[in-house]
Amino acid sequence: MIDWMIRLALGKVKDVRRRKNYITTLLVILATGFLQTLTASSQNLLISSFTPLVVQVGQTQAAQDEFVPIDELPPEDQLPAAPLLIAAYAFAWVALLVYVWSLWRRLGSVERELADVARRISNRSGGA
């Protein structure tokens, strides 16, 4: 089985009909493996997505009985907003600066290429 894959990859199969059969067989094998992986992962996803719902239904009944201010919650249940907000803004600014730096470098490259083309054109015009 591996022999025909190697021959196909190296281009040693000259018969067009045989090459098409090899490619079709290879695509069917790959599609079958992909579908098996997809169905297995979707089954796992389906099971894992319903399990928290069953557990959460029992917990929401007790949580909806009364309102608890955030100051009275234990520290492990409180979510600090300031560090997350600062991290999000820092990430956005760094991404923006990297993007602008990338544009600056590419623009410099294009300007150098245009100067080179202009120099070549002037050399051809001057020499003619």
> What's the pLDDT at 107?
95
Q: Which pTM was predicted?
A: 0.39
Please report, rounded to a whole number, the percentage of residues in the chain having pLDDT higher than 70: 60
Q: Residue 3: is its pLDDT beyond 60?
A: yes
Q: Which residue has the higher pLDDT, 56 or 29?
A: 29
> What's the pLDDT at 75?
78
Per-residue pLDDT tens for 60-117? 555 556 887 878 878 777 777 888 899 999 999 999 999 999 999 999 999 999 999 9
How many angstroms separate the CA atoms of 78 and 71, rounded? 8
- Burial of 60 (C-beta count, 10 Å sphere; 0-12/13-18/19+): exposed
Q: Which residue has the higher pLDDT, 33 or 100?
A: 100
Residue 5: band (very low, low, confident or very high) from pLDDT cuts 50, 70, 90: low
Helix, strand or coil, per DSSP, at residue 34: helix
Instruction: Calculate helix-pair angle for 2-10, 16-63, nearest 10 degrees.
Output: 110
Q: What is the mean pLDDT of the chain?
A: 76
